[in-house]
Homo-oligomer: A and B are copies of this chain.
Amino acid sequence: MSEYRQDKATREWILIATERARRPHDFRVKRSLGDLTLPEESCAFCPGNEAMTPPEFMAYRRGNEANGPGWWIRVVPNKYPALTPQGSPDRWMQERFFRKMDGVGRHEVIIDGPRHDCALPLMDDWHAEELLWVYRERFLVLQQDARIKLIIIFKNHGLASGSSVQHPHSQIIATSVVPLNIRNKLYEAARYYDEHGRCVYCDMVREELQDGKRIVMENEAFVVYHPFASRVPFETWIVPKAHEACFALISPHNSKTFAHTLKAVWLRLHMALNDPDLNYVLHTRRSIHEVSESYHWHLQIMPRFTTAAGFELGSGIYINTALPEETAAFLRE
């Protein structure tokens, strides 16, 4: 079982993932440049290799045979999970001083589709729609575990994104701690609401639409823009126009529009920038029962052109070498 440990100096939690632990000498630098290319016959996410993953939680498939072929979206436990459902969220002291707890939580992999090389921007519309509906379905299951305090749905695409597998897949990690970043995000939203009586995300969307300089695209339900304080070049937010704290309350119709929007903006990035490595992260309240006037779910896309260096690691301040006004104009064209 993995474990959370708390840094006494910052009270931030980190995860020691012993399931995927390497021995110290395994970190010796090889100086050979890695890549993600792998023959499909040895890819655990390709059809025919279903036995290489743990048994599935769910799948969209033709026929009834679980863990066989015929699926087009498949959800499985991560084989090397950072967190597992066993254990207790009790904090306990190690040797009177340091605090730790069981690595309790969830870590699931959503295999986006059967094709080894077809990422979301190149998928059929119906397939993208069903993928985002699966995000919602798994969220609805995971939120029922009362020990879960945060559910993060995300994607790593390409080597620079921290991905270790080429076959398109998404991940869900559900944790039993709320990290400082997220606590601060919720706190600031509440503080803004307290001061203005409005949701800060609603206000941002209204300002961005009025201004227009940083808008990439817009439809009846979503606004896509490069935020005023973009942390990295081409950072892109997709924000629903209607106020809603929890992503999983999305309507079937809006979920389809969300899929088309995500696909369309990623396709623009793909075409304009030659398939850049990127991460996306869905930020949402942890449950459909958490009604909130101040928080507003959204999806952040972070292309990975640069590597965080000592200053960013030490201060947490990002240095961005592009103007969001210029990158948004470039993507609009």
Residues of B contacting A323 in the complex (Cβ-Cβ under 8 angstroms): 16, 18, 21
- Are the C-beta atoms of A27 and B234 separated by less than 8 Å? yes
Confirm or deny: A154 has a beta carbon within 8 angstroms of a beta carbon on chain B: yes
Chain A interface main SS type = mixed
Kindly report which residue of chain B lies nearest to residue A161, judged by CB atoms: B309
Interface flags, A305-320, vs B, CB<8A=1, else 0: 1111111111111111
CB within 8 Å of B: which of A135-187?
A: 150, 152, 154-156, 159-163, 171, 173, 175, 177, 179-182, 184-185
Residues of B contacting A179 in the complex (Cβ-Cβ under 8 angstroms): 315-317
Bound: A315/B300 CA distance, A? 12
Bound: A5/B274 CA distance, A? 29
Q: A10-B185, A309-B163 are in contact. Are A16 and B154 (CB under 8 A)?
A: no
Identical copies of this chain, number: 2
Bound: A309/B176 CA distance, A? 19
- Are the C-beta atoms of B314 and A95 separated by less than 8 Å? no
Kindly report which residue of chain B lies nearest to residue A155, judged by CB atoms: B310
- Are the C-beta atoms of A28 and B272 separated by less than 8 Å? yes
Q: For chain A, which range describes its interface: under 10, 10 to 19, 20 to 34, or 35 or more residues? A: 35 or more
- Are the C-beta atoms of A182 and B316 separated by less than 8 Å? yes
Confirm or deny: A200 has a beta carbon within 8 angstroms of a beta carbon on chain B: yes
CB within 8 Å of B: which of A99-118?
A: none
Kindly report which residue of chain B lies nearest to residue A277, judged by CB atoms: B29
Residues of B contacting A305 in the complex (Cβ-Cβ under 8 angstroms): 27, 29
Q: A5-B229, A10-B188, A229-B7 are in contact. Are A321 and B17 (CB under 8 A)?
A: yes
Q: Which of B30, B150, B274 contacts A315 (CB 8 A)?
A: B150
Residues of B contacting A188 in the complex (Cβ-Cβ under 8 angstroms): 9-11
Confirm or deny: A33 has a beta carbon within 8 angstroms of a beta carbon on chain B: yes
Bound: A319/B27 CA distance, A? 15
Q: A7-B228, A162-B308 are in contact. List 5 more A-B contacts (CB 8 A).
A: A6-B229, A16-B322, A28-B274, A150-B315, A154-B313
